[in-house]
Amino acid sequence: MNVLVPLPVVLPLVAAAASVLLQRWLRVQQAFGVLACVGTLAASIALLARVESGGVSAVQLGGWPAPGGITLVADRFSAIMLVVSTAVVLAVLVYALGQLDAAHESLYFHPVYLVLVAGVSASFLTGDLFNLFVAFEIMLTASYVLITLGGSGAQVRAGMTYVVISLVASTLFVAGVGLVYAATGTVNMADLSQRLAEVPGDLRMALGLLFVCVFGIKAAIFPLFFWLPDAYPTAPSPVTAVFAGLLTKVGVYAIIRTQTLLFVPVGRPSVVLLVIAGATMVVGVLGAIAQNDIKRILSFHIVSQIGYMVMGLALFTLAGLAGAIFYIVHHIIVKTALFLVAGIIETATGTAALSRLAGLVRRAPLVAALFAVPALSLAGFPPFSGFVAKLALVRAGLEVGQGVIVGVSLAVSLLTIFSMSKIWGGAFWGSLTEQEVSPTPEAVPRPVPAGGARLRVPPTMLLSTAALVALSLAVAVAAGPLYALSERAAANLLDTTAYVTAVLG
């Protein structure tokens, strides 16, 4: 059943090509896109089941043996990431059907979106550094189109910052791949895990730091995060949601994969990564507190929460990596749901500025509930998934005596509660007054109804958001089995024998 390995990449690529041919029939194109995402999700679930029962699966494309050929590899970590990411892209696509107008969709939204899905899937499955670069470029090229789709001048300017920074990261990436090949004669990651041991220690450390920098730009770690808070809030809401939930996590995935497979630190835990993790947490949450716009607050929280994932990696223990994997799963779902709620508010009222919002808990109680659940989870309240994820990381840190980073993580959690209560108090609570809402790039200016008038929200937007909120609750309910799965995935990352054997034989 190794055909399952390339399927999450092939399906969306073929669907993207077909979607271009269906450009004149928008309804057919919409249905085709949803079916393609459903098929990709089904293939990802089947692949996770296959890996869980049969171990690491590898496919040599074209029949060329590794390390010379193109290899796709699925282990527990990559399969988990595939399942969560494809579930999120399906929910966001359904949301987009209710939020985007025909003018936006006619600008090749659906084929570009499917190309993005293929790029994300390829990033999780590729088995060599050069094709990881190719997968990143597929994903980023699609993201360049989506982030400026039908945009105003402000959106295009913010999108250009994202494009330039991504191109710089890509240049460093391909240079790093060239340096690795010059030093070892291979780019296959399974082969590199053995050959890098023969490289002088200083050179290996320099290459490892270069790749942390490259993937750190894409993951928005400190101090490489500055592009994110300006770029994400200006894009259409579905695009912002899928970017917030997925793209930075692809960078985190690449950091975890390369650091555990190629550049394992001699002295564990990694002091450099622990410092980066703590600084990312603190700077992100302080930036969120200083904002007065829902999307900008949530964008800074992306940065802050990335620090928790890097913390789990930096510990380089089974518990730390398991906590990081569980945290990634929780955060992809919760953060996407929060941005979808922000999109609902902006679509219904014409603004996401806290100074122009109030009383939404009375005018849209369902929307308030859809915000409250993931917000409490993000802050780490029990019994939600965020509490389980943070508890796992705190325990992992205490086990190895890293009390400082544990203290920082707990303090940042308190500040996260404060910043999320700022949204609740500003947008959902308080009294409503008659006010004029200034236009936004994706909303028609309209007056905010007085007297507590109910907001009208397209049902597809509500249903897709509710589905992700329910999925976050399911993660909390099934925390035990999911954490056990994360432990098994972490064990595979620490012991790379199965990965190397599956690829090289």
Half-sphere exposure of 107 (CA within 13 A, CB side): 13
Q: How confident is the model at residue 505 (pLDDT cuts 50, 70, 90)?
A: confident
Measured CA to CA, the distance from residue 376 to residue 368 in angstroms comes to 12
Q: Is 204 helix (H, G, I), strand (E, B) or coil?
A: helix
Backbone angles phi, psi at 206, to 5 degrees: -65, -45
pLDDT in the model for residue 161:
82
Confidence of residue 56 (pLDDT cuts 50, 70, 90): very high
Mean pLDDT of 268-282: 89
Q: What is the pTM of this model?
A: 0.91
pLDDT digits 0-9 by tens, 479-504: 999 999 999 999 999 998 999 999 98
pLDDT tens for residues 219-263?
Answer: 889 888 888 887 777 778 888 888 888 888 999 999 999 999 988
- List the beta bridge partners of residue 71: 60
Q: Mean pLDDT throughout 306-331?
A: 94
DSSP notation for 239-303? HHHHIIIIIHHHHHHHHHHHHHHT---SSSS-HHHHHHHHHHHHHHHHHHHT--BHHHHHHHHHH
Element (DSSP H or E) covering residue 435: strand 435-436
Which run of H or of E encompasses 60?
A: strand 57-61
Mean pLDDT of 441-452: 42
The residue type found at 288 is A
Report the pLDDT value the prediction gives residue 150, as an integer from 0 to 100.
67
Q: Is the pLDDT of residue 440 over 70?
A: no
- For residues 498 and 191, give the distance between their C-alpha atoms in angstroms, rounded to a whole number: 13
Note the residue count of the chain. Answer: 505
**What is the pLDDT confidence band of residue 305, given thresholds at 50, 70 and 90?**
very high
pLDDT digits (tens, 9 = 90+) for 205-222: 899 899 999 999 988 898
d(CA 427, CA 346): 11
Q: Would you call 240 exposed, middle or buried from its count of C-beta atoms within 10 A (0-12, 13-18, 19+)?
A: buried
Residues with Cβ within 8 Å of 480's Cβ and at least 6 positions away in sequence, in order, are none
Q: Does the structure show a pLDDT above 90 at 395? A: yes
Give the mean pLDDT of the chain.
87
